[in-house]
Chains A and B, each alone.
Chain A
Amino acid sequence: DADVTQTPRNRITKTGKRIMLECSQTKGHDRMYWYRQDPGLGLRLIYYSFDVKDINKGEISDGYSVSRQAQAKFSLSLESAIPNQTALYFCATGQGARETQYFGPGTRLLVL
């Protein structure tokens, strides 16, 4: 079984809709991250969390919110989706400061 799972894997939604992307991990890591990937732009950090009570904004947090429901679960919400949020979204986990990150398979989101 995969250590970092993301649901859904693909999602099509309409402008203005609220959607949630979910991430679960079995690696026992405290640190969890949400990134988005756009063609030619690499990965950009949206939010990150070092434990259940610690949530931090990344470089592109506007229009997004997150919830760390448990050590193993970190969800990303788009309160009112817009077309320029169409992207590939990745969840990742990490064990220590500045150490290796482990990525989920990604969620491909299309906002019409």
Chain B
Amino acid sequence: SQQGEEDPQALSIQEGENATMNCSYKTSINNLQWYRQNSGRGLVHLILIRSNEREKHSGRLRVTLDTSKKSSSLLITASRAADTASYFCATAPSGQGGSEKLVFGKGTKLTVNP
């Protein structure tokens, strides 16, 4: 079953606006990662936030993690048409021993209109 669930499923904004995507998960985690996928292509890692971190930045990306609410958000500031893609959260559940598997959500499809 899916661990992470992104919200919304789809988001359409104008260039220059900020985009916020959310991810909720069910079990305790070691870390949470965000990936981007351009249409039909492989996923590209964006950022990893560990369970003891609350916020992380990378360029125009800001990720927050609230382990008490089992949720994370990805903020893309000053969006560009090139940010149009699907965004996935992936959780690394803790306490699984040697399985070390990432569990991916179903993604948020972001469209940035010029």
A53 within 8 A of B: no
- The stretch of B14-22, B41-49, B60-68, B70-78 in contact with A is B41-49
> A90–B99 Cα gap in the complex (Å)?
19
> A58–B104 Cα gap in the complex (Å)?
13
B33 within 8 A of A: yes
Within 8 A of B (CB), among A69-112: 88, 90, 92, 97-106, 108
CB distance from A67 to the nearest CB of B (A): 20
Contact A42 B33 (CB under 8 A): no
Contact B101 A105 (CB under 8 A): no
Q: Which of B40, B41, B102, B107 contacts A101 (CB 8 A)?
A: B102
> A22–B64 Cα gap in the complex (Å)?
37
Interface size on B, residues (CB 8 A): 23
Interface size on A, residues (CB 8 A): 27
> A55–B46 Cα gap in the complex (Å)?
28
Main SS of the interface on chain A?
strand
> A42–B44 Cα gap in the complex (Å)?
14
B interface footprint on A34-47 (CB within 8 Å = 1, 0 otherwise): 01000011111100
> A101–B99 Cα gap in the complex (Å)?
15
A108 CB contacts on chain B under 8 angstroms: 40
B28 CB contacts on chain A under 8 angstroms: none
> A39–B107 Cα gap in the complex (Å)?
10
B53 within 8 A of A: no
CB distance from A102 to the nearest CB of B (A): 7
B104 CB contacts on chain A under 8 angstroms: 35, 42-44
Closest to B1 in A: A59
User: Which residues of B are at the interface with A, using a C-beta cutoff of 8 A?
Assistant: 2, 30-31, 33, 35, 40-45, 48, 88, 90, 92, 99-102, 104-107
List the 10 closest pairs (A to B, CB-CB), nearest first.
Answer: A98-B92, A103-B42, A42-B106, A43-B104, A97-B100, A103-B43, A100-B45, A98-B30, A105-B42, A42-B104
